[in-house]
Chains A and B, each alone.
Chain A
Amino acid sequence: MRARAGLVAAALTLLVAGCSAPAPAPQEERTAPLVLPDGYSDPGLEATLVPECGTPEGRAQYNPRRTLNPAGLTRDAAGTPTGPKLDKIREDGLLVVGVSQTTPLLSRRNQATGRMEGYEIDIINRIAAELFGGPLPPDDPRLRLVTMPTGSRLLALDTDKNDVERQKTPELAEVPEVDMVVADVTLTCNRVFTHDVMYSSPYLTTNAGLLTRTGAERRDSLADLYGQKVCAASATTSIADLTAARPNTGIVPVSVPDSSECLMLLQRGLVDAVYTDFPILQGLQLQDPGTALVDLRGQGGGEAGIAMSKDHQDLIRFVNGVLDEMRADGTLVASRNRWFVDEVRAAGLGDPGPPLDLPPVSYID
Chain B
Amino acid sequence: MRERFSAYLRRTEGRLALIAALTAVSTIVLGLVGMTVLRDRQALLDDAVDRRGALTSAALDIYRTFADADATSLDAVLVDQQRSPGLQRKFREDIFDAVDALREAASRDAGGSSSERVRRLTDLVPQYVQLVEVGWSASRNNHPVGTSYLSQASSLVRDTILKDADELHDEQIKALTEAQRNASEHAWFTYLLGVVVLFILYRSQRFLFARTRRKVNIGLLAATALTAIAVLWLPIALLVSSGNAEDSIVKREQVVAPLAEARNVGRSADGNEARILIYPSVGDIKALENDLKKIGALIEEARRFAEPGPDRDRVDQAAWALQSWTEIDTALIKTPNEPLTYPETVALVTPPVGDEKSYAEQVDEHLTAAISGYTRSSAESTASARAALNGLDIVFALLMGGAAVAAVAGLWPRIAEYYR
Interface size band for A: 35 or more
The answer to whether the Cβ of A81 comes within 8 Å of any Cβ in the partner chain is no
Chain A CB within 8 A of B346 CB: yes
Closest to A146 in B: B339
- Which residues of B lie under 8 Å from residue A111 when comparing CB positions? 77, 139, 142
- Closest Cβ neighbor of A141 among chain B residues: B341
Using a Cβ–Cβ cut-off of 8 Å, how many residues does chain B contribute to the interface with A?
39
Enumerate chain A residues within 8 angstroms of B149, measured Cβ to Cβ: 264
User: How close is B29's CB to chain A, nearest CB, in angstroms?
Assistant: 39
Q: Indicate if the CB atoms of A175 and B336 lie closer than 8 Å.
A: yes
Q: How far is the CA of A258 from the CA of B141 in the complex (A)?
A: 20
B148 contacts A261, C-beta separation under 8 Å: yes
Give the docked Cα–Cα distance between A167 and B141 (Å): 41
The residues of B that contact A288 with a CB separation of less than 8 Å are 143, 145
A35 touches B131 (CB 8 A): yes
1/0 per residue, CB under 8 A from B, across A107-119: the answer is 0111110100000
User: Contact string, B377-413, partner A, CB cutoff 8 A, digits 1/0?
Assistant: 0000000000000000000000000000000000000
Is the pair A149, B281 in contact by a Cβ cutoff of 8 Å?
yes
Distance, CA A199 to CA B342, complexed state (A):
27
B151-188 CB mask vs A (1 if < 8 Å, else 0) is 11001100100000000000000000000000000000
Chain A residues whose CB sits within 8 angstroms of the CB of B282 once the complex forms = 149, 151-152, 171-172, 174-175
> Is A102 in the interface zone, CB < 8 Å from B?
yes
Distance in angstroms between the alpha carbons of A38 and B123 in the assembled complex? 19
How far apart are B281's CB and chain A's nearest CB, in angstroms?
5
Q: Is the CB of A35 within 8 A of B127?
A: yes
Q: Which of B106-161 contact A (CB under 8 A)?
A: 120, 123-124, 127-128, 131, 134, 138-139, 141-145, 147-149, 151-152, 155-156, 159
Please judge, given known A-B contacts A104-B144, A114-B346, whether A261 and B152 are in contact too, CB under 8 Å: yes
* B354 on the A face (CB < 8 A): no
**How distant is A27 from chain B, measured CB to nearest CB, in Å?**
14
A38 touches B155 (CB 8 A): yes
Q: Does A263 contact B (CB under 8 A)?
A: yes
How distant is the Cα of A66 from the Cα of B138 in the complex, in angstroms?
Answer: 41
Contact bitstring A238-273, B, C-beta under 8 A = 1, else 0: 000000000000000000001011011001000000
Contacts of B145 in A (CB 8 A): 260, 263-264, 267, 284, 287-288
Instruction: Return chain B residues, CB-CB under 8 Å to A37.
Output: 148, 151-152, 155
CA A37 to CA B160, docked complex, whole Å: 12
Residues of B within 8 A of A147 (CB): 277, 280
Contact B337 A176 (CB under 8 A): yes
B209 in contact (CB, < 8 A): no
Taking CB atoms, residues of chain B closer than 8 Å to A32 are 123, 127
Interface residues of B in 319-341 (CB under 8 A from A): 336-337, 339, 341
Q: Hey, what's the 0/1 contact readout for A268-295 against B, CB within 8 Å counting as 1?
A: 0000000000000000101110000000
- A222 CA to B74 CA in the complex, in Å? 37
Which residues of chain B are within 8 angstroms of A96 by Cβ–Cβ distance?
337, 339
Q: Please, what's the 1-or-0 string for B271-282, where 1 marks a CB less than 8 Å from any CB in chain A?
A: 000000101111
Shortest 9 CB-CB distances between A and B: which pairs?
A287-B143, A174-B285, A102-B144, A264-B148, A149-B280, A176-B336, A261-B148, A37-B152, A149-B281
Q: What are 14 of the A-B contact pairs (CB < 8 Å)? A: A32-B127, A33-B120, A33-B124, A35-B124, A37-B151, A112-B142, A146-B339, A147-B280, A149-B284, A172-B282, A174-B285, A176-B337, A287-B144, A288-B145
Q: Given A38-B151, A146-B339, A174-B285, 7 other A-B contacts at CB below 8 A?
A: A37-B155, A96-B339, A172-B282, A260-B144, A263-B145, A267-B145, A287-B143
